[in-house]
Each structure stands twice: as C-alpha cells, then as structure tokens.
A and B are shown apart, each in its own frame.
Chain A
C-alpha cells in the first residue's frame, strides 16, 4: 500500500485523513442539523447551540466518571440537553415570538454566557481530559490500512442517528407536522394543531442533537468550557455552506467541512482553522444561497 501515493502523500495516510475528516464532519452534521431544524421551523438562531454542545459533553463525561458506562453517557447527555432545551424554549424563548427576529438570537447569546460560566463554576476553568472508552480504543484493519476504532464508531453512530432523524421527519405524522410548520405555521394552526407544542418539541430535539454531538466529540478533544465557541462558528459555516433549512444540505456541508479541515491539516497545518472560513467565503461568492439552499432564501 505504501508504494501508492497522491500528491506526495501515501494513499493510506490520505485514507486515514479522510476517515478523520468524515468523523469530524459527522460532528458538524449533528450540530448543523440541530441548528437548521430550529431555524427552519421557528426562525430562531440558537446562539447557545455551542453551549448546549459543551454542556452535553460535560454531562456525558461527568456521568462516565460516575458510572463507567459510555453508552449511558451517550443516552443521558442528549436527554439532559433536550430537557434543558425544552425549559429554555418554554421559559425564555417563547415570550419573544412575535418580536423582532434578532431578539431570540440575543437572548440565547446571553444564555450561552450563563451556561459557560456555570460550567466553569461547577467543573473549573481548565477542562477535563477524556479519551475513548476502553471498548472503542485501538485500531482496526479495513484492508487499506488501520483506522482508529472510535472514529469509525462515531461515523456509524452519527449516520444511524441522521438516518433515524430523516425517517422521523419524512415518514412519521409528527414529521409531517414539522415540515408543514416550517412552510406555513398559520395553516397548521388553523388545521387544529397546536404549533407552539411543535416548536417546543423541535427546540428540545435540536438541543438534544447538540448535546449528543458534544459527548461524541469529547473523546476526540477532551472537554473545556470554551469548546462550544469554535463549534458554534463552524456550525454556522455548515448551515451557510449547506443552505439554511435544508437537512440534506447540512449533511453534505458538514461532511465537506470535516474533510476540508482534515485535508488542510495534512497539506498546510497552519491554515487548518482558516480553511473552513475560506470555503464559506467561496460559497458565498459563487452560490450565496448555499449548496442545497432554495433560491431566494438568502436574497
């Protein structure tokens, strides 16, 4: 295998970076879909989305330390963030419907301060180290080289979640209500469906996805109170690149961003952080509505 190469890099190294990129992309997909769901239905940009990601990771890591079960963390972190999301929508965001579109954004921005600072109070400023759980450590041979097991697991697990989510939205009656609500909430209300309950549920679902992404990302990087800030910016890039309100766009853009990051870190490590923003700038110049966005959505 090592005799094959492309652009000076051996193919197995490129394949490894590709897997790394897709694993990173899977995180972006989960975060981006949560953001996109909330936005597409409610016109609310959740600026605390990165904070939900971070708190989800902390909840998961904390529970793992107590119970030793990563699977439990994987269920509990999204559950906790979903419940927190429900409370936030009900108590803080709901009074703002009918006001300017900036108001929920500003409120969730303030909320993210409170969440980050609360985590600092509870867990300290420096963050916690966290590695892959023992069952998922090590590497497996896929025939073209060895790949870290956890990253493969992360990809498979995220794909399953995204697939389930797609089925939920496209094939269930509640999914139909969500899609109808994104189109025209007034008609949905007239048809006798209490749209505010749908909004509540979707806000919770979006936050749960952020929490799930957080605990899935934790073994890759450890957890710090500030880990949500770059993720928020990257999730915005995903939604702008993919096209706002398009779930397929979020999946495509998330994977694309992940792969671009991984490949840049191989070719030009200094440029890694900037590459995704360059990608966004390019998309804005060439196709401002995003890859799969609808015409006119961006003006």
Chain B
C-alpha cells in the first residue's frame, strides 16, 4: 500500500502550501534583526513587565513563553505536532517541587532536578512516539502523556494526587554572595528572566547549528533529509528530548513561581495550550512563542473577568486563526514586512 494519497488538493484547485516562515527572501532590516534575535527578544522581555497589566501575569507569560518555545522546536522547526507536552511541563514542575518539598534541595538544584525528570520522561515517550509518523505522532504523544498523567495522579505520596503538590515555598533565593527576595514580583520576574534568557540563547545557538539546519530539512522533506544521509529518526528523538527539557525547565520555574503544582499541569488541556500558544504566536518563528504566550494569557485573563466560559471564545479564536491566519500573529507580521521589502 502506498503512502496516503495527497488527493485533497483537487477539491480546492491548487494546493495552498503555507509559505514557511524564513523561506522567503529576507530584506536588509529583517536580516539584521534575525542576526540579533536573542538580544532583541531579551530587550523586549526586559521591558515587558512595565507594560504588562500586572507583574505576576508577566512572570506567567515569561514561563509560558519558554514552554511554547520548547514546544515550537518540535512543532515549528521539526514539523512534528505533539499533543503530549504537558507531560514535560508537568514532569519539570513535579520534579522541582518534589526536590524542594520532599528532599529540601536548593531551588537552583531543584530546577536541575525538574529539568532532568522532564528530560527522562521525554526520552521514554520519544522512543515510542518516534516510531510513528505524521498524524499518528499527535495521537501517540497524546495517549502517552495521558499515561504519564495517570501515573502521577496515582503516586499520591509524592505528587499529592488530585490536590496537587503543595508547599513549594521559596520566599528567598540564596545565591553565593547575595540574596534575592522572590516575594517582590519585580525581583522574581528578573530572576526567572535570567534563566529564560539563558534558555533562549541556547535555543538560538541550537537553531543556527548544523543540527538546527537538519531539523528544518526534516520538516521540509523527511525523505530527502534521509537521502542526504541524516539519521532522521535519531535527530527527531534528540529534538523531542531537547524540546522536552526546555518545557521541563519552564515547568520547574512555574512550580517555584506558583508554589504549587496542580495536577492539571499534566492534563491534556495543558498540552493543547502549548499548541494554541505556538499557533497564535506563529509556529516556526523565533519570537512567536512569547507573542503567543502573551496573547493567550491576556485573552484568558481578560475573558475570565467577563465570563466563566472563556474557553468557548478561546476555542473560537483558535478556529479563526487556523482558518484565516495560519501563520500566527508574529508570522503574519514577518510575512508582511518581508513583502514590503524590509
């Protein structure tokens, strides 16, 4: 049996392949901005808390931005749509929380512990999920993440089960030479930003490495990448694990920020949130995930003050984006600037 027939194009005339961000001809200004993407992203994030409605929301957006960034490595840059990333966000959060609550580890070490746990979960899920392709990948990752969810739900002694993991109190962060008062939202924001900034820098390095180029090659044409001699399956697994680690770091930061890990962190809806943020912001764009995280959080924040049924509107807005704005906000901005010859 041959591969699924791409016959749907004939219902609509020519196939409307969405132009991939970054594939068009880039003007001088955009090229310059792209070269300094880390500096520009960080500059925005440094200023951001002073324009956000309130600072706790700014920390949320920062953490969710990192979550969407990690997700985007897989979805936007490798072309793999995962519906299981809540397992990594949750794994990072629980790992960090358990390290602090049950073992009294230093918060910095707890961040490492959380990231490691998420990396481990990602490796275990990845080995299985990578065996499937295309749409099956989304279904398999969803099913595997549900399995992780139930496992953590059941391990009540460690995770608190349905009540969530409570008591992750880090009021003051003791670092060699100085103390950080995390009860001050501004201090907390910049402490989190220091970690997120490092991750953003690493992410940028990864994308500009030969490995990053190979991932984009897999996204554009898996068969061709294989024919070029790349071990596609292993590269996908490595991308999956790195993506999981970044999301795990986001989860660990979230655990310290919220001082509780609700079981919903691992739920299917949280996986869906990563998909929504990446698409709203612009998949496969460097800065898009932060725009997506900000959009999603502001929507949620704004709508939930008006109605308890904000998810209805979030769902409808998401549908509208899929239909009419598939490049996402930032992707659309970039595409327009590119057309205007910037």
Question: Is A110 at the interface (CB under 8 A from chain B)?
Answer: yes
Complex interface: stretch among A59-67, A130-138, A180-188:
A180-188
Which of these, A106, A112, A236, A277, contacts B279 with CB under 8 Å? Answer: A106
Q: Using Cβ atoms and an 8 Å threshold, which residues of chain A touch B140?
A: 236, 240, 280, 284
Given the known A-B contacts A240-B136, A294-B1, A299-B133, are A98 and B12 also in contact in the complex, defined by CB atoms under 8 Å? Answer: yes
Give the shortest distance, in Å, between B307 (CB) and chain A (any CB).
Answer: 9
Q: Using Cβ atoms and an 8 Å threshold, which residues of chain A touch B2?
A: 296
Contact with B along A28-56 (1 / 0, CB 8 A): 00000000000100110100000000000
Within 8 A of B (CB), among A167-188: 183-186
Contact with A along B138-152 (1 / 0, CB 8 A): 111011101100110
Q: Interface range on chain B: under 10, 10 to 19, 20 to 34, or 35 or more?
A: 35 or more
Which of these, A103, A121, A196, contacts B322 with CB under 8 Å? Answer: A103
Contact with A along B31-58 (1 / 0, CB 8 A): 0000000000000000000000000000
Give the shortest distance, in Å, between B232 (CB) and chain A (any CB).
Answer: 10
Cα A224 to Cα B230 with chains together (Å): 48
Complex interface: stretch among B90-98, B112-120, B308-316:
B308-316
Residue of A92, A105, A234, A270 ringed by the most chain B CB atoms within 10 A? A105
Given the known A-B contacts A110-B319, A186-B5, A195-B11, are A274 and B326 also in contact in the complex, defined by CB atoms under 8 Å? Answer: no
Q: Assess whether B147 is in contact with A298, with CB atoms less than 8 Å apart.
A: no
Q: Using Cβ atoms and an 8 Å threshold, which residues of chain A touch B139?
A: 45, 236, 239-240
User: What residue in chain A is nearest B276 (Cβ atoms)?
Assistant: A110
Q: Using Cβ atoms and an 8 Å threshold, which residues of chain B touch A116?
A: 311
Cα A273 to Cα B316 with chains together (Å): 31
Question: Is A15 at the interface (CB under 8 A from chain B)?
Answer: no
Cα A121 to Cα B18 with chains together (Å): 36
Q: Assess whether B146 is in contact with A277, with CB atoms less than 8 Å apart.
A: yes
Within 8 A of A (CB), among B313-342: 314-316, 318-319, 322-323, 326
Q: Assess whether A296 is in contact with B312, with CB atoms less than 8 Å apart.
A: no
Q: Assess whether A109 is in contact with B128, with CB atoms less than 8 Å apart.
A: no
Question: Is A11 at the interface (CB under 8 A from chain B)?
Answer: no
Q: Assess whether A186 is in contact with B10, with CB atoms less than 8 Å apart.
A: yes
Q: Using Cβ atoms and an 8 Å threshold, which residues of chain A touch B24?
A: none
Cα A99 to Cα B323 with chains together (Å): 10
Given the known A-B contacts A184-B7, A280-B143, are A45 and B138 also in contact in the complex, defined by CB atoms under 8 Å? Answer: yes
Q: Assess whether B322 is in contact with A97, with CB atoms less than 8 Å apart.
A: no
Q: Using Cβ atoms and an 8 Å threshold, which residues of chain B touch A299?
A: 132-133
Cα A116 to Cα B316 with chains together (Å): 12
Cα A184 to Cα B131 with chains together (Å): 26
Q: Using Cβ atoms and an 8 Å threshold, which residues of chain A touch B312?
A: 113-114, 117-118, 121
Question: Is A229 at the interface (CB under 8 A from chain B)?
Answer: yes
Q: Assess whether A109 is in contact with B309, with CB atoms less than 8 Å apart.
A: no
Q: Assess whether A113 is in contact with B314, with CB atoms less than 8 Å apart.
A: yes
Q: Using Cβ atoms and an 8 Å threshold, which residues of chain B touch A101?
A: 134-135
Give the shortest distance, in Å, between B233 (CB) and chain A (any CB).
Answer: 9
Given the known A-B contacts A183-B5, A185-B5, A280-B140, are A120 and B309 also in contact in the complex, defined by CB atoms under 8 Å? Answer: yes
Cα A56 to Cα B170 with chains together (Å): 47
Which of these, A97, A121, A236, contacts B309 with CB under 8 Å? Answer: A121
Given the known A-B contacts A98-B12, A298-B132, are A237 and B5 also in contact in the complex, defined by CB atoms under 8 Å? Answer: no
Question: Is B16 at the interface (CB under 8 A from chain A)?
Answer: yes
Q: Assess whether B132 is in contact with A288, with CB atoms less than 8 Å apart.
A: yes
Give the shortest distance, in Å, between A21 (CB) and chain B (any CB).
Answer: 19
Q: Using Cβ atoms and an 8 Å threshold, which residues of chain B touch A244?
A: 136
Q: Using Cβ atoms and an 8 Å threshold, which residues of chain A touch B326?
A: 99, 103
Contact with B along A269-291 (1 / 0, CB 8 A): 01001100110110011001000
Q: Assess whether A99 is in contact with B132, with CB atoms less than 8 Å apart.
A: no
Given the known A-B contacts A98-B15, A114-B315, are A42 and B8 also in contact in the complex, defined by CB atoms under 8 Å? Answer: yes
User: What residue in chain B is nearest A270 (Cβ atoms)?
Assistant: B154
Given the known A-B contacts A110-B319, A185-B8, A298-B136, are A98 and B14 also in contact in the complex, defined by CB atoms under 8 Å? Answer: yes
Give the shortest distance, in Å, between A245 (CB) and chain B (any CB).
Answer: 8
Q: Using Cβ atoms and an 8 Å threshold, which residues of chain B touch A295?
A: 1
Q: Using Cβ atoms and an 8 Å threshold, which residues of chain B touch A233?
A: 142-143, 146, 268
Q: Using Cβ atoms and an 8 Å threshold, which residues of chain A touch B4?
A: 43
User: What residue in chain B is nearest A294 (Cβ atoms)?
Assistant: B1
Q: Using Cβ atoms and an 8 Å threshold, which residues of chain A touch B272?
A: 109, 113
Q: Using Cβ atoms and an 8 Å threshold, which residues of chain B touch A113?
A: 272, 311-312, 314-315, 318
Cα A297 to Cα B4 with chains together (Å): 8
Cα A98 to Cα B326 with chains together (Å): 14
Q: Assess whether A43 is in contact with B10, with CB atoms less than 8 Å apart.
A: no
Cα A229 to Cα B12 with chains together (Å): 32
Beyond A106-B322, A110-B316, A298-B131, 6 additional contacts (C-beta under 8 Å) are A43-B4, A97-B11, A105-B81, A121-B309, A233-B268, A273-B147
The 6 A-B residue pairs whose C-beta atoms are closest, nearest first, are A113-B315, A185-B7, A277-B147, A110-B318, A236-B139, A117-B312
User: Which residues from chain B sit less than 8 Å from chain A, CB to CB?
Assistant: 1-5, 7-18, 81, 128, 131-136, 138-140, 142-144, 146-147, 150-151, 154, 268, 272, 275-276, 279, 309, 311-312, 314-316, 318-319, 322-323, 326
